[in-house]
Structure 1
């Protein structure tokens, strides 16, 4: 609810973007659930190994799809991208930096998923989005309406309450195991 209120007054809203985001979120949650099940089923595979295998399989599966769908546009778009930077080396540097940080983000995500539940991970991801929204407001000085602030506050408060409830539940469970 909080995230919905935070985004409800966005000027550039469109339904195609909304449905794309909803599908992405469902896919992300399903990936977390099945990844966690895989990590629990295969004790010899840790989060880092699982991410490595998923990356390799995804490359083999999606590269031909990308060539088929977008391959004819690659050369023209590559030249457009080069024109937006001062030098080609700047473009390559940003591509490499972007790739490295995206890889590190996913790698750390799988390592974290190895340690926590998919629900906790998804809640943390929601908090990451709130941080991104607040950062864009501060850096780009995007206008923020009171409803957006209320929505962000609800999302942050809900995440706080969830983390408190989870830690209390874990503490009670650990306490019960110590007594047995």
Structure 2
């Protein structure tokens, strides 16, 4: 049995690492193809539509069951709000990639913990450890240094990246409440992506679509027209791969492992984009990016410590309830419980996975993909 368990754990580890690499690759290529296409074809709404289209094509293959029937209250309470947030996040992200280098855009998006701390405090009355607040200092400092020293700085690009990050933080908090109602995460993703595509279609036709369909927008590109179409298709496909791989990866690992992987993913995208596009960067600019990333890592450590403290308190409470707490013989029992608890608290790549009643893995919360 032990050998079988070890083989199963190794299989899970290999699968999780493979999903993580697929997530990294999808995220990296999504950003690179978006930037490359918009250098020649600066149409952020069209790129957003291509991404939504590919997500809507791919996601149905991953639905665990039929789509839920939605009441009017469901539409007004969460589908429409999440759709609006999805549109704002997608459009502002593409505008930021259009206006500024990918590395800088992702550095600004690293400010997500700042907005998360603020919004969770305001809307959920959630308290954070002191280290989490301290970690915000290097995050802000790093982004400020990167902004001041960015050779291709654009104010609209900075504002768009901030809007995308802030809106995505709201979307994550809102998604948490929806997922607590028992709606499957893939169903939420598909419903919101479908609604966003339909809602954005009239605006796309009015702003960019008419010229593309009936004008000479593509013919004027000459030989590059096919390359742009190819890059937009790949951009959409990579967006779908990124989304699906990230969700599935999250179902295999703890939220802390996911958070650490998310920091590493951002580093990979920043470095890969700087090498691919050969963006000029000063030592101060690189230092700002590094300081910001260190702040993000410090924030994740604070959340890891907080989670471990919470688990310890919960485990001790369960042990006290099970063994009778501080009654006679409590010293022996408490000694046993402490040892038992230490054994339970060993760091684990796959620790604390959640399962549905059917035995399937269930992700911990909303997807953090920006």
Tell me whether 1:13 sits opposite 2:153 in the alignment.
Answer: yes
Gaps of 5+ in 2: 1-139, 318-370
Q: Which of 271, 284, 293 is 1:156 aligned to? A: 293
Residue matched to 1:46: 184
How far is 1:135 from its partner? 1.9
Residue matched to 1:171: 308
Higher RCO (C-alpha under 8 Å, 6+ residues apart): 1
Deviations 1:27-56 (A, max 9, x none): 22222221222112x21x122111000011
Deviations 1:141-176 (A, max 9, x none): 333222112212211211221122111111111111
Cα distance in 2 for partners of 1:73, 1:56 equals 24
Gaps of 5+ in 1: none
Residue matched to 2:278: 141
Output the TM-score relative to the length of structure 2.
0.41
Residue matched to 1:84: 224
Cα distance in 2 for partners of 1:125, 1:4 equals 22
Give RMSD over aligned pairs. 3.0
Cα distance in 1 for partners of 2:175, 2:145 equals 30
Does the 8 A contact of 2:143 with 2:292 survive in 1? yes
Residue matched to 1:23: 163
Q: Which is greater in Rg?
A: 2
Task: Show the 5 A alignment for 1:94-133.
Answer: 94-109=231-246, 116=255, 128-133=265-270
Does the 8 A contact of 2:146 with 2:286 survive in 1? yes
Give the number of the structure whose residues are more often helix, by fraction: 1
Cα distance in 2 for partners of 1:54, 1:73 equals 27
How many residue pairs match? The answer is 172
Does the 8 A contact of 2:145 with 2:284 survive in 1? yes
Output the TM-score relative to the length of structure 1.
0.77
Cα distance in 2 for partners of 1:12, 1:52 equals 36
